[in-house]
Amino acid sequence: MGIQINGQTDTITAIDGSLTVSGASLPTVTNLNATGIVTATGFVGNVTGNIIGNVTSSGVSTFTSGPVLIGSGTSTGTASQSLQVTGGAYVSGSLGIGTTNSRTKIEIVGGWGNNTEGSSSLRITANDIIGAAIALKNAGGKYWNIYNGGSGSWVGDGNLGFVYSDGINAASGAKVGFNSNGNVVLNSGSLQTNSIVPLGGLQSGVTAGGVIQFQHYTNSTRTTLSTASSFLLWSVGNFVKASSNSVLYIRGQLVFGDGESYNMGPYWKIGASGNRYDGIIFTHYDSDNGSAASIKVSWHIDAYYDTSSTGSQAIEIGWSTANGGSDRPGQVWNPNAADDARSRQFSSDVTIFEIGK
């Protein structure tokens, strides 16, 4: 059966709903509406309907409106996105996002979005309580995962964790991390800002005798003292103990002016240690026996506390007399020029070291 199309006589064959046009070359067909299968060696124009099968284009294919849906006939509703791919995509070469000349497998060009959300270049959002992560795998199949912890993560909500896996066994928890204060977090506690780790102390197995961390505390506020039988002089601060296999070593010196008593039960306390009267002694300097104001008294602390407790440990220093009598080490704590015009501001200092055992 011959049908003339635009001056050209060709053959049309219909089999099982399929339509094949064979014969000599047809002039350009600018628009095509089809409900069946269309096979063409070349086509310029609009296609209305569904294309089932493979589409091969040797030239440039241009879609002037969208979205273009691949793998699904249903739009997700993201009208602002021109391309929707359902079921995955494969890119054999380089992929550039924000750039037409990717120099690596994936290159993203962007910048800093804002101080609330951060980068506008790449964002990974979690859909569970563990957190958002990125995995780094070496050629041997071993993984390091870097993740922003969620409420169900070991490293803690909003903290940055580093997790290792050998690629066979499940990771047991973060090896090390950083909390929102910038402190180093171990899998048994945390290290504070002034931490030093000269002997591998970042490991959960601490080297015996190695300094895991230290923290220094200073008080340089001149304070007038009253007499009391028991008095908390200085709430030094909180020390976060990292390891259960360590001791805390405390060293310190407190300075008093207008010295009064040497026998009054000075104590130090760390965490649940209770009042400890060991390792704290008096020294004094009497430059003029006729002037009480010239008598400087110091408490020196050189002691250690052995505990398996980890986490925050409150540090306190004070006095408690054995017989309940009221007393004080001096009239002034941390004296300055108000006590003697020649004097600079004195300070009291305490340093806590965490040492492996």
pLDDT of 199 reads 36
Least confident of 42-46, 170-174, 274-278: 42-46
Taking residues 70-93, what's their average pLDDT?
76
The candidate with the shortest Cα–Cα distance to 300, out of 253, 347, 264, is 253
The structure tokens listed for 138 are: 């070496």
Confidence of residue 58 (pLDDT cuts 50, 70, 90): low
DSSP string computed for 141-177: S-EEEEEEE-TTSSS-TT-EEEEEE-SSSPP-S-SEE
Q: Give yes or no for residue 206 having a pLDDT over 70.
A: no
Q: Give yes or no for residue 121 having a pLDDT over 50.
A: yes
Q: Domains, the chain, ranges and CATH?
A: 1-58 (no CATH), 215-356 (2.60.120)
The candidate with the shortest Cα–Cα distance to 260, out of 212, 328, 314, is 328
Peptide linkage before 329 cis (omega within 30 of 0): no
Residue, of 84 and 14, whose pLDDT is higher: 84
Do β-strands 266-270 and 348-356 pair in parallel, antiparallel, or remain unpaired?
Answer: unpaired
Helices (H), 241-328: none
pLDDT of 285 reads 64
Confidence of residue 286 (pLDDT cuts 50, 70, 90): low
Do β-strands 118-119 and 46-48 pair in parallel, antiparallel, or remain unpaired?
Answer: unpaired
pLDDT of 66 reads 67
Q: Give Dmax (Cα) for the chain.
A: 135
Angle at 306 between CA 301 and CA 308, to 5 degrees: 140
Taking residues 55-67, what's their average pLDDT?
69
Confidence of residue 307 (pLDDT cuts 50, 70, 90): very high
pLDDT tens-digit readout, 158-169: 888 888 888 888
Least confident of 45-59, 250-264, 323-337: 45-59
Mean pLDDT of the chain: 78
Residue, of 26 and 316, whose pLDDT is higher: 316
* Rounded-to-integer distance, Cα 319 and Cα 264, Å: 7
Q: What is the DSSP letter of 327?
A: B
- Are 328 and 224 spatial neighbours (Cβ–Cβ below 8 Å)? no
